[in-house]
Structure 1
Amino acid sequence: MPVFWLDPSDNRFPHPSEANPDGLLAIGGDLSAERLLSAYQLGIFPWYNPGELPLWWCPDPRFVLFPEQLKVSKSMRPYFNQQKFTVSYDTCFAEVVKACAKAPRQGQEGTWISNEIITGYTALHQKGFAHSVEVWEAGQLVGGLYGVALGKVFFGESMFARRSNASKFGFIALVRALRSRGFTLIDCQQETNHLRSLGAELISREAFLRLLGENEEKHPPAPAHWADWGQAEQG
């Protein structure tokens, strides 16, 4: 299948079913908040190296977590029982994204989180669609993650940890918070052993897009602010 070139003046995307076997759908465009929002509504996300033109993906199969399927290992339970960390939401979004950009990745050199990515997602955060989770220890930011929320679906983007299990703690706290608020799906994008151990699984792109369509029908995208979520879901 061909890779589609995006018109810089048009935020529309081809249908995700037109993606190549590896999931690549389109190239070009920009990372404006409006284009990012259009992409996520179709299950499309950008992933490319700094200095390159944006590449837009919709893989098949898709790696997802259904919140009710969350698995918390025995080794993680003491972290919550002892309140090893505390969690906040949407208090320092840009700092979390920049920390994710600096986090070392196994098998990768450098980072895909460019200044363009930081600017685009920060704009989306300011519109109430991108959100951050912050993990704290003794007043220091030691882990976190960020992503995009549309209706009752959360699209995870990246996470970081400066202390052992800090990012896992933040992710578990987030899943519990989302579950308590009726979220039905968490998109993990790429398969990892770390997320599989927490209950994530592969589903077909067709099934994933069907779930997105049902979500948009029942819960049209609307801006939200998570700063008042607090820590009630950590236990």
Structure 2
Amino acid sequence: MPPPLDPGPPQWAFPSPLDAEADGPVGIGADLDPATLLAAYRAGVFPMPVSRGRVLAWWSPDPRGVIPLDGLRVTRSLRTSVRRHATTVDGAFEAVLDACADPRRPGGWITRKIRRAYTELHRLGWAHSVETWTEDGRLAGGLYGVAIGGLFAGESMFHHERDGSKVAIVGLVDRLVDGGATVLDVQWTTPHLLSLGAVDLPRAEYLERLAVAVAQPQPEVFGRPSPAHPAAGVHHHR
């Protein structure tokens, strides 16, 4: 499969995250063009609007949440859920994005501008989704994020069925390990993510790991979309 399309150089330069406050933004403003977003992720920064979506802020929290790819915690009940579901990659990107952007969700931050920006990143081959499907073909959960070299920067997840998002994470980690990735960024840890083995890293350590990860070749794990239905050819978890 062809590599992701290069959108060219960004028009903006981000301040060093090391100079930002631990719980404050790195910067305010700029835009959501593909080149800007890719430069941000390579610098350890991600967008999250504030003031009800009216102000675009860029963040690099300290500490930074990651899921170690060799430390995913899968309980017996989650393993049972894994066996009952199938996963796809890029089988329903916009459906996943819409579910994550559901305005009924508490703390929602995915605006229409964010949705358009990541849909364009997906078209260019940088943003990807992992979907979880029930045996009768219903979308049970999923997640989306950005893949650059050995980095997968998780952005948001959702579930319609119990364990729907957790099964998607298991499927994501399977693929990242297969593809030789080294960093799964989850931004901030939450009880949900901690239950899966997420840990907090000091910002400086995260940035060191990030620099190595984004210098890796782009993995092929996201190069070929799976069919948008749990049928023949869909990856089932090992």
Q: Is the 8 Å Cα contact of residues 155 and 186 (structure 1) preserved in structure 2?
A: yes
Secondary structure, counterpart of 2:141 in structure 1: strand
In the other structure, the counterpart of 1:34 is: 35
Question: Residue 226 and residue 20 in structure 1: after superposition, are their counterparts in 2 closer, same or farther (change >3 A)?
Answer: farther
Q: Is the 8 Å Cα contact of residues 17 and 26 (structure 2) preserved in structure 1?
A: yes
Partner amino acid, structure 1, of 2:37? L
In the other structure, the counterpart of 1:101 is: 101
Q: Higher strand proportion, which one?
A: 1
Secondary structure, counterpart of 1:76 in structure 2: helix
TM score, norm. by length of structure 1: 0.87
Aligned length: 222
The CA deviation at 1:136 is: 1.2
In the other structure, the counterpart of 1:91 is: 91
CA distance in 1, matches of 2:151, 2:226: 19
Q: Is the 8 Å Cα contact of residues 66 and 198 (structure 2) preserved in structure 1?
A: yes
1:21-77 Cα deviation digits (max 9, x unpaired) = 314110011111111111001110011244412000001110101111111011112
In the other structure, the counterpart of 2:154 is: 156
The CA deviation at 1:104 is: 5.1
Q: Is the 8 Å Cα contact of residues 149 and 215 (structure 2) preserved in structure 1?
A: no
In the other structure, the counterpart of 2:131 is: 134
The CA deviation at 1:232 is: 3.7
CA distance in 1, matches of 2:192, 2:137: 26
Contiguous gaps of at least 5 residues in structure 1: 1-8
Partner amino acid, structure 2, of 1:85? H
In the other structure, the counterpart of 1:43 is: 44
Say whether residues 1:125 and 2:127 are aligned partners: no
Q: Is the 8 Å Cα contact of residues 179 and 220 (structure 2) preserved in structure 1?
A: no
CA distance in 2, matches of 1:154, 1:23: 23
Question: Residue 222 and residue 33 in structure 1: after superposition, are their counterparts in 2 closer, same or farther (change >3 A)?
Answer: farther
Partner amino acid, structure 1, of 2:165? S
Q: Is the 8 Å Cα contact of residues 97 and 118 (structure 1) preserved in structure 2?
A: yes
1:135-176 Cα deviation digits (max 9, x unpaired) = 112112121110011101111111111111111111111111
Partner amino acid, structure 1, of 2:146? V
Partner amino acid, structure 2, of 1:120? A
CA distance in 2, matches of 1:12, 1:221: 26
CA distance in 2, matches of 1:13, 1:113: 22
CA distance in 2, matches of 1:209, 1:194: 24
Secondary structure, counterpart of 1:24 in structure 2: coil
In the other structure, the counterpart of 1:16 is: 17
In the other structure, the counterpart of 1:5 is: none
TM score, norm. by length of structure 2: 0.86
Which among 53, 57, 63 is matched to residue 55 of structure 1?
57
- My pick for the range that moved more, 223-232 or 12-21, is 223-232
Identity of aligned residues (%): 39
Q: Is the 8 Å Cα contact of residues 151 and 222 (structure 1) preserved in structure 2?
A: no
CA distance in 2, matches of 1:190, 1:62: 6
1:172-194 Cα deviation digits (max 9, x unpaired) = 11111111221111001011011
Contiguous gaps of at least 5 residues in structure 2: 1-9, 228-232
The CA deviation at 1:233 is: 5.3
- My pick for the range that moved more, 119-128 or 209-218, is 209-218
Question: Residue 184 and residue 233 in structure 1: after superposition, are their counterparts in 2 closer, same or farther (change >3 A)?
Answer: farther
CA distance in 1, matches of 2:205, 2:130: 28
In the other structure, the counterpart of 1:3 is: none
